[in-house]
Amino acid sequence: MSEPRSRPSFAIPQRPERRFSRSDGLSYEGTTVFVLTPDSVPEDVPDTDGWLYDRLEGVLDTDPYTYGDWFDLPMPVLLVHDRETGDVFRVAIRDGTVEFHVLPDTDSEGLAALYERLCGVAETGTGTDTSTDTNPTGGSAGAWHVECRTGGGS
């Protein structure tokens, strides 16, 4: 029997930098995105993104989160504030994944805390699964494969 992999560290290899321009407004240079892919989705789920949104919203509706979807986009993009850690970051759901978008002042602690809570949400939505398996071949209901992507910046 193989040992489950340890939790991702959510170490931030590159922080985006805010740029302000009178003509273009606020923009960011450089990106770090943590892409979470669930190891398993129930076979009877017709809309994976909707299923992921329901799980995410179930977690965000609890303390210590404040969140909102203030963007008019064809996919969910939420600004999330973790009152416990003080972290703020964006979360998007796209093509069967949950993305944690790092902002300039985001720390790893808030990202890891949301990840831990998402791992606790079982396929049934009961929140009773506390699996620590993040192996992409494991198939546990609370298991996620996590990939860190960076781009742009100086």
Q: Which CATH number belongs to the domain containing residue 23 in this structure? A: 3.30.310
pLDDT at 84: 95
- Domain membership of residue 44 as a residue range: 17-149
Q: SS3 of 60, please?
A: helix
Whether 6 is covered by a domain: the verdict is: no
Q: Is residue 72 part of a domain?
A: yes
And the tokens for 78? Answer: 């939420």
pLDDT on residue 127: 40
pLDDT along the chain (154 residues), means of 10: 65 92 86 94 92 94 90 87 95 96 95 93 44 36 86 72
Residue 132 lies in a domain: yes
For residue 4, being part of any structural domain is answered with: no
What pLDDT, on a 0 to 100 scale, did the predictor assign at position 79? 93
Q: Is residue 12 part of a domain?
A: no
What the block records as the tokens of 63 is 């303390």
Q: What is the pLDDT of residue 101?
A: 96
Q: What is the pLDDT of residue 154?
A: 54
User: Is 30 within a domain?
Assistant: yes
Q: How many domains are there within the chain? A: 1
Would residue 54 count as lying in a domain? yes
